[in-house]
Chain A
Amino acid sequence: MTPPALARRILRASLPQIDRDDVLANLDQLYEERRTRRGAGHANRWYWRQALTFAVRLRWPRLATSNSTRRPRADISAVLYDFRVAARGLVRAPTYTVVAGLTIALGIGATTSIFSIVNGVILKPLPYPNAQEIVVVWRTDQGVTRGVLSYPDFDDWRRENSTFASLGGHAEHMGVFQWDEGATQLVGERVSVELLPLLGVRPVLGRWFTDDEDRLDGPRAIILHHRLWHQRFGGDTSVVGRTIRVDDRPHTIVGVMPPEFLFPVATRDYWIPLREDETLRDVGFDRRTRYLNFIDVVARLQPNVTAEAAVADLAAIGQRVDGRNNFGAGLEGLHEHAVGGVRFMLFVFLGAVGLVLAIACANVANLALSRATSRSREMALRSALGAGRWRLARHMLAESLLVALAGGAVGVAIAAGGVDLFLRIAGDTIPRSHEVSLDGVVLGFATAISVLSGLAFGLIPVLQNRSTRLDAALRDGTRGATVDRRHHLLRDGLVVTQIGLAVVLLTGAGLLLNSFIRLTSVDAGFDPNNVLTASVSLPVERYASDDVVLQFFDDLVTRVGGLPGVTRVATSYSPPFAGSNFQQSFLVEGQDPVPSDQTPWAGTVIVGGGYFQASGVTVLRGREFDVRDRGGAPRVAIVNETMAMTHWPGEDALGKRFQIGSGISGAAASLDPRFLAREWLTVVGVAADVRRRELGDDPIPEFYRPHAQMAWPAMSLLVRTAGHPEQLIGALQREVWALDPRLAVTDVSTVRELLHQSIATPRLRMTLLSAFALVAAFLAMIGVYGVMALTVAQRTQEIGVRMALGAARTRVIGEVLARGFRMTGLGIVIGVGGSVAATRVLSTMLFGVSAYDPLTYTAVTGSLVLVAALACYLPAHRASRVDPLEAIRAE
């Protein structure tokens, strides 16, 4: 049992950093004591009370000591008096208070939610000391814009540079961990010895790596993440010095990193030294080769060194080798590197909720206006009795501020839920999402926008009040003021603004929705339903020859194929949408040699037998791979349509030949000398294009090779099932362990789920903007309805008299509707104008839809007109039902 999370969050935010941990730990202990003594409900209530007490006492010590002998200063007491009177007035008008407060709470809640995301992801510095000095460095070369480095190039950079205080390298690592109960594969990071000290985060236990441990022949060491330490060792402090088996080799645990250390991304469970280029040696590469690029570089700039000087320094080092004149470098801040990709999207969200807040403010301003109007007699009276204008204004502002602050408080509670909801919808699409919290900055922001909103909607009735003529108001409290045209104008103006803003949001959301629908209806090129995928990677030590590897996968396919509910099974190098991005260069037979920077590239996919049936990818011409395509047989390939059309335009690609080139690019795990064997491949089939990474990507040239001719040891299974594929997960794992209990099954997922994840970002954008737009439209329609209803209510007598004199009902309805439509129409015209200007910023987020898509604009305006008609019709209908006798009697 833990204390209520939100209360804990409030506590965290209000405590000074220095005592934070201590107080929280003490409160936890007291909470636990209360819970065992008096039950969880009591303890939770108690904890909440303590959280609020701490917050109030530490943030506003004066409030807590108000009963002391200190006397408030005179002007403070006057302001407090205003607030007290305002509070009494609000309590007497509960409907106004609740409706206005909730409207504002909705606006502030939405704005605060998005702001806390922006704050945690973009505004907060990274959790490293002097994080602004840390940069990400990359290599540029002919045709390479952001290249990773080979080990020798990295080594040259770190030893010979004169512009960096420190420069470290890292690369992803997937390790098979041997536990007592079996093997699991985890994802960690290989880091050079400089990297952890460079980032400056100390381990909570143990130490960083030593120079020795980063050498090829040094002792093997591993540092665990706090999470893994807790999962596997229950937080046992004696783990340092213990040995665990990773990739069949003993590693000594030398340290544990704190939970907030999430380098380079949140999913890393451990770190091991780079050890020069060990994995390359394992697969038989020449250690000094500069063609195999896999190291990401992070560095700390020396003080007073410019980015340009550093880049020139690194480029010069690279150019010293083998006359690589095109060798260059580039860099950007680590923070920019981490969040640059989502900054724009988050600011679009922030802008969108800002509009929602503006609409909410306009709504409340209208409410406040009607309230001020109905109280104009009271105001006039107070004014006549000698209250100055400033005094009256202060009173009205105090009321607005109270409503806004109360709304803000509810808004913060909404935001607490809103942030959780957002992060759940966002999934992995937002970096640093674990750093998002309702901290002091966010609470300050919420307070500030509450005050600003309060001023915004409070000033409008104040300004209006200035124009009220005292005598008219005194003579007849309600009617005298309403006939004033200026009030109508002000109110209608607010409604027009609301509609305009709502149109902008609706258009934006409509465009994203339209674009999302187009994206999801793209033909992926295969059938994603009822397919389970899982990866199995065979360690080279125990699966050294091609025959052993092929035998294993043949056995596995046979065994899995025999499971009940499985209709087809095949293997492939990477499942669709799993993010693998492996390409190599090639030369087409009979074509003129081209300069090296213009050689064509294509994606390579290794597939086992039966792949095309299991995946549902259509072979358009020629044949599939079969038993003929054995290891010793002539090398064959199946190319996709794009490759066929790009390289053999106007001809039949079948029977044509191409040769594997010397270029290779992909993740470290895919770098293997076998890929570089300069073999000639004969095209035996042409397959339909497949969207392999994202639905929105244009298909790239790709070719398939049979697994039998390229015995790759790490393959994914594609299991097509009759029923729900998830039910097979357990059985699949058992079949792998039946063949080899030391193997880990990884990346288990359905293809539908992978497809779902590949469109997570567009879905997030569409969902969020649609939600904001619907709230905006709802608020705007309430605004329309409110103004129309008020007008009808105030004109009851006039309408009654006219109907008594013979005016037709339809005419009365028509008049009221006409005013509503004038406002809506004007709002839409302004809104469409605004949309044309504003949706341009969305153009980079759109797929297959123009930012000026006429269909979207028509749909948005059309539906808005319909809803507005309904919002106007209800009050108009009521107007037509006015009983003339009643109305006149009231006079």
Chain B
Amino acid sequence: MPRETLGEFEHQVLLAILQLGGDSYSAPIVMEMEKRSGRDVAPAAVYIALRRLEQRGLVQSTKEEPEPQRGGRGKRIFEVTPTAIEKLRESRRAMESFWDGLDPVFEKR
């Protein structure tokens, strides 16, 4: 059964795709996530997350024409679907409501 809410990792994958804008195949996604999180990200985890997100209709992929400099292999480009955008918006709203009014607590330290 697909879970209803987004996991933290899936969240990051979706946002990384959106941050990249255009050329979002899996290598740049991994690099983007590493850049933003400052930690190593396992391509296998990203691969599995993308596959799961695709099954759930949250991303869709298209295969590009083969390029000779990649040994004649085409890239699989990922795009975030409108459903996913809606989910991201929801979860951001939910998160922000949790954060509401907590600023003083965090400013102290």
**A residues near B31, Cβ cutoff 8 Å:** 30, 33
Question: What sequence of 0s and 1s flags, for each residue 38-66 of chain B, a beta carbon within 8 Å of any chain A beta carbon?
Answer: 00101111011000000000000001000
Measured CB to CB, the nearest residue on chain A to B46 is: A26
Given A235-B68, A237-B68; A50-B42 close (CB under 8 Å): yes
A100 to B42, CA, bound (A): 35
Q: List the B side residues contacting A57 at CB < 8 Å.
A: 44-45, 48
Kindly report which residue of chain A lies nearest to residue B69, judged by CB atoms.
A235
**Cβ < 8 Å to B, chain A residues 68-122:** none
A29 and B27 form a contact (CB under 8 A): yes
The reply to whether the CB of B71 lies closer than 8 angstroms to some CB of chain A is yes
Distance in angstroms between the alpha carbons of A54 and B44 in the assembled complex: 5
User: In this complex, what residue of B is CB-closest to A57?
Assistant: B44
Q: Is the CB of B25 within 8 A of A26?
A: yes
Closest to A56 in B: B44
Bound-complex Cα distance A702 to B9 (A): 78
Interchain nearest-CB distance for B47 vs A (Å) = 6
Interface positions of A from 27 to 70, Cβ below 8 Å from B: 27, 29-30, 33, 46, 49-50, 53-54, 57-58
Are B26 and A22 interface neighbours, CB within 8 A? yes
User: B13 contacts the other chain (Cβ, under 8 Å)?
Assistant: no
Contact between chains at A26 and B27 (CB < 8 Å): yes
Interface: A25 (CB within 8 A) = yes
Residues in A whose Cβ lies below 8 Å from that of B70: 25
B16 contacts A by Cβ under 8 Å = no
| Chain A hits for B17, CB < 8 A | none
Interface string of B5-36 (1 = CB under 8 A from A): 00000000000000000000111001100000
- Across the interface, which residues of A come within 8 angstroms of B87, CB to CB? none
Known contacts A235-B68, A237-B68: does B73 contact A25 (CB below 8 Å)?
A: yes
Q: Is A23 an interface residue (CB 8 A)?
A: yes
Please name all residues of chain B whose beta carbon is closer than 8 Å to the beta carbon of A29 when the two chains form the complex. Answer: 27
The reply to whether B44 and A26 form a contact with Cβ atoms under 8 Å apart is: no
Q: With an 8 A cutoff between CB atoms, is A837 at the interface?
A: no
* Complex: chain A residue closest to B41, CB-CB: A30
Residue A204 is within 8 A (CB to CB) of chain B in the complex: yes
A21 in contact (CB, < 8 A)? yes
Cα A26 to Cα B29 in complex, Å, equals 10
Across the interface, do B68 and A22 meet the contact criterion of CB distance under 8 Å? no
CA distance A33 to B26 in the complex (A): 14
In the complex, are the beta carbons of A53 and B26 less than 8 A apart?
A: no
Contact B43 A22 (CB under 8 A): no
Chain B residues with Cβ below 8 Å from A54 are: 43-44, 47
Q: Report chain B residues within 8 Å CB of A58.
A: 44, 48
Please indicate the chain A residues that have their CB under 8 angstroms from the CB of B74 in the complex: 22
Q: Which residues of A contact B71 (CB under 8 A)?
A: 25
**Residues of A contacting B26 with CB < 8 Å?**
22-23, 26
Q: From known contacts A23-B26, A23-B47, A29-B27, infer whether A53 and B42 are also in contact, taking CB-CB under 8 Å.
A: yes
Q: Report whether A50 and B43 are in contact in the complex, using a CB–CB cutoff of 8 Å.
A: yes
A30, B68: Cβ atoms under 8 Å? no
Q: B101 contacts the other chain (Cβ, under 8 Å)?
A: no
- Chain B residues within an 8 Å CB radius of A27: 27, 43
- In the complex, what's the smallest C-beta–C-beta distance from B23 to chain A, in angstroms? 12
Q: How far is the CB of B63 from chain A (nearest CB, A)?
A: 8
B44 in contact with A50 (CB, 8 Å): yes
Decide if B72 is an interface residue (CB 8 Å cutoff).
Answer: yes
Contact: A30 with B73, CB < 8 Å?
Answer: no
In the assembled complex, the Cα of A54 lies from the Cα of B70 at a distance in Å of 21
Contact check, B76 vs A22: say whether CB atoms are below 8 A apart. yes
Known: A26-B25, A53-B42, A57-B44. A204 touches B72 (CB 8 A): yes
A204 neighbours in B (Cβ, 8 Å)? 72
Select from chain A the residue with minimum beta-carbon distance to B29: A26
* Residue of A whose beta carbon sits closest to that of B47: A23
B48 contacts across to A, CB distance below 8 A: 57-58
Please name all residues of chain A whose beta carbon is closer than 8 Å to the beta carbon of B63 when the two chains form the complex.
22
- Which chain A residues lie closer than 8 Å to B30 at the CB level? 26, 30
* Nearest A residue to B40, CB-CB: A46
A26 to B73, CA, bound (A): 10
* Docked complex Cα distance between A867 and B31 (Å): 61
The answer to whether A30 and B27 touch (CB under 8 A), given A53-B42, A54-B44, A54-B47, is: yes
Q: Beyond A25-B70, A25-B73, A237-B68, is A53–B27 a contact (Cβ under 8 Å)?
A: no
Chain A contacts with B in 233-259, Cβ cutoff 8 A:
235, 237
Q: List chain B residues, Cβ under 8 A from A19.
A: 47, 76
Closest residue to A30 on the B side, CB-wise? B27
CB distance from B46 to the nearest CB of A (A): 9
Q: How far is the CA of A33 from the CA of B30 in the complex (A)?
A: 11
Which residues of A are found within 8 Å of B76, using beta-carbon distances?
A: 19, 22
Taken together as a complex, chains A and B put the C-alpha atoms of A22 and B54 apart, in Å, by 16
Q: Which of A602-638 contact B (CB under 8 A)?
A: none
CB distance from A891 to the nearest CB of B (A): 61
Choose among A22, A30, A33, A57 the residue with the greatest number of B CB atoms under 10 Å from its CB: A22
B-chain residues with CB within 8 Å of residue A237 when the two chains form the complex: 68
For window 105-156 of A, CB contacts with B under 8 Å fall at: none
Shortest Cβ gap from B52 to chain A (Å): 11
Q: How far is the CA of A25 from the CA of B68 in the complex (A)?
A: 12
Please give, as numbers and ranges, the residues of chain A lying within 8 Å of B68 by CB-CB distance: 235, 237
- Residue of A with least CB distance to B64: A22
Once bound together, how far apart are the Cα atoms of A30 and B63, in whole Å? 19
Chain A residue with the shortest CB-CB distance to B71: A25
Bound-state Cα–Cα, A235 to B82, Å? 40
Task: Quote the shortest CB–CB distance from B58 to chain A (angstroms).
Answer: 18
Which chain B residues numbered 57 to 108 have a C-beta less than 8 Å away from chain A?
63, 68, 70-76
Residue interface bits A550-569, CB-to-B below 8 A is 1, else 0: 00000000000000000000
Within 8 Å CB of B42, what residues of A?
A: 49-50, 53
Say how far B30's CB is from chain A's closest CB, in angstroms: 6
Q: Which residues of B contact A22 (CB under 8 A)?
A: 25-26, 63, 73-76
Q: Complex formed: what's the CA distance from A235 to B73 in Å?
A: 13
A161 and B13 alpha carbons, distance in the complex (Å): 60
Closest to B48 in A: A57
- Complex Cα distance, B48 from A245, in Å, reads 51
Residues of A within 8 A of B43 (CB): 23, 26-27, 30, 50, 54
Task: Please tell me which one of the listed residues A21, A49, A50, A53 contacts residue B73 in the complex, with CB atoms under 8 A apart.
Answer: A21
CA–CA, A46 to B44, complex, Å? 12
Which residues from B are CB-within-8-Å of A24? 73
For A655-696 the 0/1 string (1 means CB < 8 A from B) is 000000000000000000000000000000000000000000
**Sampled A-B contacts (20; CB under 8 Å):** A19-B47, A19-B76, A22-B25, A22-B73, A22-B74, A25-B73, A26-B26, A26-B27, A26-B43, A27-B27, A27-B43, A30-B43, A33-B27, A46-B40, A50-B44, A53-B44, A54-B43, A57-B44, A58-B44, A235-B68
Give me the 4 closest cross-chain CB pairs, A-B, nearest first.
A26-B27, A29-B27, A53-B44, A54-B44
**10 other contacts beyond A54-B47, A57-B44, with CB at 8 A cut-off?**
A25-B71, A25-B75, A26-B43, A26-B75, A30-B30, A33-B27, A50-B43, A50-B44, A53-B42, A54-B43
Contacts from B to A (Cβ < 8 Å): 25-27, 30-31, 40, 42-45, 47-48, 63, 68, 70-76
Task: Report which A residues bind B (CB closer than 8 A).
Answer: 19, 21-27, 29-30, 33, 46, 49-50, 53-54, 57-58, 204, 235, 237
